[in-house]
Every structure is written in structure tokens, then in C-alpha cells.
Amino acid sequence: MNWASLQGLLSGVNKYSTALGRIWLSVVFIFRVLVFVVAAEDVWDDEQKDFVCNTKQPGCPNVCYDEFFPVSHVRLWALQLILVTCPSLLVVMHVAYREERERRHRKKNGPNAPALYDNPNKKRGGLWWTYLLTLIFKAAVDSGFLYAFHVLYQGHYDMPRVVACSQAPCPHTVDCFISRPTEKKIFTYFMVATAVVCILLNLSEVIYLVSKRCLEIFSSKRQWSRHQSRLHDSCPPYALSQAEHPQDGNSVLMKASSASVDAGGYP
């Protein structure tokens, strides 16, 4: 698989990501994709060829290998990386859709027409929801694969040197030997740990985006409340009262500081 092409496609996501999103992308490509391509594939390239059992019974090594390795680590991680990284392309596609819509709007109504978006790249409206959903989806994919890995291998991330197998057509309980178990154990723990780090980064970014949005809404409401208060103070209510014994018969305009005024409007 050409991972460089996938990296080239996702490099544009940095323009629309937060600081946590850029850290996540760096962790994915440096500590997951690069390690997977450079080292992990070579570690597991001989997993079935060098899986040796102390019997010459035809089919026994294959059955025992399938029992201990129901799914190849390499293929499982490759599928995980593809499903984790591809949702980020939705953000790029959404921005491209906004830019194309803005271009058609200007072409139809003229260059001086009001813009549909203040900034097509800014995470507002539908783009904010798209970005948030991609974060949740990526965290869910990594969590799902970690759970599947736990179920398939029954929580055993360790690689024993010898495994006992008694599946048919093995004539009896035979011992099978895994090649380079220590090296495989190290890379297994490394890939699981980096997946956990990516999940934490995604959840942290979700919390950051939601908190920032809530603060913006709260701040806008406070500004609106202050604006209304300033309007109320700059236009104080007045009451027109007639003096009880006017000397000149004129009306007196006085401030009704103690009068009760309807809050629904101004007199």
C-alpha cells in the first residue's frame, strides 16, 4: 500500500485543524504509519512461514496458527489506520464544497454580492459539526479496534515462545513455536499504546471544541445583556405629572425615579 499518497492527501487537513488536531496527525504518521511501514511489516512478514510445530502431521501447523493468530496483526492495523485517517478527508471535502458554492454565488450575483461565508475555512455551522463528528468517529474506530483486538486475542498482548495446540488434525497436544516473540511483543504494545494516545487526543479536542463553543455562546449572551442594560440606562423613563397647585398652569416634566414602570417598553 502506498502510504505516502495518503499522507499527501491528509497534509492539507493541518490548515483546518486545531493545535491538538495537528499533534494527532503527527502522532498518526510518525508513530503509527511510519513505524508500521518501516518496521512492523518486516517483523510479521515471517509469522506463518516460521510458525513451526513439533509434528509432521499435514494441516496441523496451519490449524494451530489459525487458532493463535485468528487475524493477522499487520492486516488488522492496516485496516485500522485506513479507517482512522480517511474521515479527516471529509473536512477537506466540506471546505472544498463551501469554496465552490461561494464561487458559484459570486459568478451568479456578481463579485460585489454579499459573501455566503465570512471565511469558508472557519469551523462554523456545518463545518464545525463535520469536524466534531470526524473526531468522535476516529476515537470510536480506535476504541473499536482495541476492543476487537482484545476479544480476538483474549486480552493476551504478550507473545509466548511456545504455545500448546490440540486442534484436529493434530494427533495429540503439540508445541508450536513463534518466531521472534519478544520483538513482536514490543511492537504490539507500541501500536496499542499509540492508539490509546490518539483516542485521548481526539477526546481532548472534542472537549476543547465544545467548551470553546459554549464559552462563545455564553459570552455573546452576556454582551447582549450588557448592551440591553446600557440602552436602558441611556434612555431613563420619565413621567409627566401635573402639579397639585400649579402656579403657572404649565406641565412639569420630572424623572420618575420612584415610579413603577412597565418593563415591556418605554413611555
Length of the chain: 267
Please check whether residue 165 is in contact with residue 50, taking contact to mean a CB–CB distance below 8 angstroms.
no
Q: Are 163 and 175 in contact (CB under 8 A)?
A: yes
Q: Would you state the pLDDT for residue 196?
A: 95
Greater confidence (248 vs 98) lies with 98
State the helix-helix crossing angle for 3-10 and 88-109, rounded to 10 degrees. Answer: 50
Query: Over the stretch 154-192, which tens digit does the pLDDT of each residue have?
Result: 766 778 888 898 888 888 889 999 888 888 888 889 999
User: What is the sign of the dihedral through the CA atoms of 93, 97, 98 and 103?
Assistant: positive
Peptide bond into 169 cis (omega under 30): yes
Mean pLDDT of 224-248: 54
Give the angle subtended at the CA of 110 by the CAs of 105 and 112, to the nearest 5°. Answer: 105
- For 140, other C-beta atoms within 10 Å of its C-beta total 14
Give the chain's radius of gyration (CA, Å).
33
- pTM comes to 0.73
Residue 265, Cβ density class (10 Å: 0-12 exposed, 13-18 middle, ≥19 buried):
exposed
Structural domain boundaries of the chain?
Answer: 17-97+124-220
pLDDT the model gives residue 231: 62
What pLDDT does residue 146 have? 92
Contact 191, 40 (CB under 8 A): yes
pLDDT, residue 142, reads: 94
Average pLDDT, integer, range 237-260: 42
- pLDDT (tens digit per residue) in 119-157: 666 777 778 888 899 999 999 999 999 999 888 887 667
Half-sphere exposure of 186 (CA within 13 A, CB side): 7
- Among 41-55, 157-171, 200-214, name the most confident range: 200-214
Q: What percentage of the chain reaches a pLDDT higher than 90?
A: 16
Domain 17-97+124-220 fold is de novo design (two linked rop proteins) (1.20.1440)
Helix (H) or strand (E) holding 238: strand 238-241
Q: Tell me the residue ranges of DSSP E strands in 39-153.
A: 52-53
- As a whole number of angstroms, the distance between CA 102 and CA 177 comes to 62
Are β-strands 174-177 and 52-53 bridged in parallel, bridged antiparallel, or unpaired? antiparallel
